[in-house]
Amino acid sequence: MIIRSARFVKSSTELSQCPSDHLPELAFIGRSNVGKSSLINILTGFGKLAKTSGEPGKTRTINHFLINDNWYLVDLPGYGYAKVAAKQREKWTNTLKEYIIRRENLLCLFVLIDPRHKPQKSDIEFMEFLGINSVPFARVFTKSDKMSRDSLNRSVRDYDTIMLVNWESLPVTFITSTVTKAGRTAILDFIEESMNNFSK
């Protein structure tokens, strides 16, 4: 997949505000600060398209970026961000769930996971929610530049072990780094394949 153009289209606070042109889209989700916006920036290679921050809770809306004039990458707010008032957090969670379940043109959701931490309940439960609702998703272990290969593999295995209790097979999995650009080509190839299957 070659990215020829990438531009910000709009920020939405609800599903009803999202673009209505039914172009295929792929979205990025995961706990706050895991690197969703940064990954979008290295995938497109168009600089600081999505806003990033060292402070969790940066992305607070559903952001659509139009790629090659015919599909979208979507940057979503993080889940599990404790510093936000409970009421606001509940509203985001409901908005995210509605987007995920009802967005018909969503080809795949990339669930980003920080492998530096032990398997997190919020990540496991979130993927179970996707399974129950038959939402296609892939796992992305981010920030691989911050760990040794051994501890990274151990962390992925820890997730696999927990998931295989309830899942028959494991989802497609990527390892990424915005520093080394690891995983960029693999994800772009996967996106191309998903789009080819979609248009068949």
Contact 106, 27 (CB under 8 A): yes
Q: Which of 44, 95, 155, 178 binds ligand GTP (CB under 6 A)?
A: 178
37 binds Mg ion (CB under 5 A): yes
> Measured at the alpha carbon of residue 125, what is the angle toward residues 122 and 167, in degrees to the nearest 5?
140
Contact 112, 29 (CB under 8 A): yes
Per-residue string for binding with ligand GTP, 104-143, x by CB under 6 A? --------------------------------------xx
Q: How far apart are CA 114 and CA 32, in angstroms?
A: 10
**Where do the DSSP E strands lie in 2-142?**
6-12, 25-30, 62-67, 71-75, 106-113, 137-141
Which of these segments, 5-13, 121-129, 131-139, 174-182, binds ligand GTP (CB under 6 A)? Answer: 174-182
58 binds Mg ion (CB under 5 A): yes
CB of residue 30 to Mg ion, shortest distance in Å = 9
Q: Which of 32, 44, 95, 155 binds ligand GTP (CB under 6 A)?
A: 32
CB of residue 33 to ligand GTP, shortest distance in Å = 5
